[in-house]
């Protein structure tokens, strides 16, 4: 009797396991089918959206136009500074002030207007050095001020290269090793007008190309539905910017400066609807 009861319990347990695995298998199959349906729907929607996007792009005819205007570098701008380092900040400031006044007087004597002379920067900075020290308590290090550096920077501009050249030559002799030339820039006087002209040339170039391809490819272009302009800074064909340098009074050759030409470039992209 006991054996029969045990056999029944075992059969019931086995039957329960079979029902559980059968249900789990059905659920997994259903979930997998649902995922497949979602993937198919998602792919269909993606294809549909890509198709619309490609249709829109394929109906646009792109043309690039370029306009270039060459211009003379008529304005010369020079940034110079007087720099002096000394243990006594008052003495350093005195030397800098004396030499900067000399530089300004030289500029005025050469015909550079006072409005074209601008102070760009004035600074007094401590010069520090890390020093090792020792006493009865041991060794340590600390930063100490060993001198002061005074710097006065001015910006001058002129339309005459020979004036700037002579200014550099005279300033070098009068101020010696305290003179620094930070940079020399060249620019055109009529940059706004030249920019407008480069844009007009870019438009003319784009419209000419559109007319050319319309005839040769036997297509019909409609309205302009896209526009983009790409513009960068002027390209200097003969860049003469000078790095900062120390000027020595002895055996200093005469300065030579060449302005060169530059270009203003405008690029535009037009998108025509294809009828």
3-class DSSP state of 236: strand
114-136 per-position pLDDT tens digit: 888 998 999 999 999 888 888 88
Helix (H) or strand (E) segment spanning residue 145: strand 138-158
CA distance 32 to 24: 12
b/e 42-66 (16+ beta carbons within 10 angstroms → b): eeeeeeeeeeeeeeeeeeebebebe
Cβ-based burial of 246 (10 A; exposed 0-12, middle 13-18, buried ≥19)? exposed
Provide the token pair at 132: 């090792």
152-176 per-position pLDDT tens digit: 999 998 888 888 889 999 999 999 8
Pick from 113, 248, 264: which is nearest to 187 by CA?
264
The residue among 91 and 159 whose pLDDT is bigger is 91
Q: Which residues contact 122 (CB under 8 A, 6 or more apart)?
A: 151, 152, 153
Lowest mean pLDDT among 55-59, 220-224, 264-268: 55-59
pLDDT at residue number 133: 82
Query: In which residue ranges of the chain is CATH 3.30.70.2970 found?
Result: 74-189+241-260
CA distance 127 to 135: 25
DSSP state of 112: -
CATH for 74-189+241-260? Answer: 3.30.70.2970
Q: Is the torsion defined by CA of 149, 155, 160, 163 positive or negative?
A: negative
């Amino acid at each position: 009797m006991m054996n029969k009861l045990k056999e029944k319990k075992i059969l019931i347990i086995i039957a329960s396991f079979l029902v559980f695995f059968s249900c789990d298998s059905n659920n997994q199959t259903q979930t997998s089918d649902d995922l497949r349906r979602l993937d198919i729907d998602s792919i269909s929607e993606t294809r549909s959206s890509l198709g619309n996007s490609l249709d829109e792009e394929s109906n646009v005819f792109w043309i690039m136009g370029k306009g270039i205007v060459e211009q003379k570098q008529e304005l010369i701008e020079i940034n110079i500074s007087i720099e002096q380092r000394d243990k006594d900040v008052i003495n350093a400031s005195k030397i800098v002030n004396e030499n900067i006044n000399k530089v300004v007087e030289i500029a005025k004597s050469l015909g550079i207007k006072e409005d074209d002379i601008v102070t760009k920067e004035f600074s007094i900075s401590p010069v520090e050095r890390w020093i090792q020290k020792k006493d009865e308590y041991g060794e340590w290090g600390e930063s100490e001020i060993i001198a002061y550096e005074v710097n006065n920077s001015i910006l001058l501009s002129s339309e005459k290269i020979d004036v700037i050249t002579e200014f550099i030559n005279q300033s070098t002799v009068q101020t010696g090793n305290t003179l620094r030339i930070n940079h020399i820039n060249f620019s055109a006087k009529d940059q706004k007008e030249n920019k407008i002209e480069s844009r007009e040339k870019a438009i003319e170039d784009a419209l000419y190309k559109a007319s050319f391809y319309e005839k040769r490819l036997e297509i019909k272009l409609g309205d302009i539905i896209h526009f983009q302009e790409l513009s960068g800074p002027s390209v200097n064909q003969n860049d003469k910017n000078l790095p900062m340098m120390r000027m020595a009074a002895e055996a200093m050759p005469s300065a030579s400066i060449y302005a060169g030409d530059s270009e203003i470039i405008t690029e535009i992209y037009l998108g025509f609807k294809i009828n």
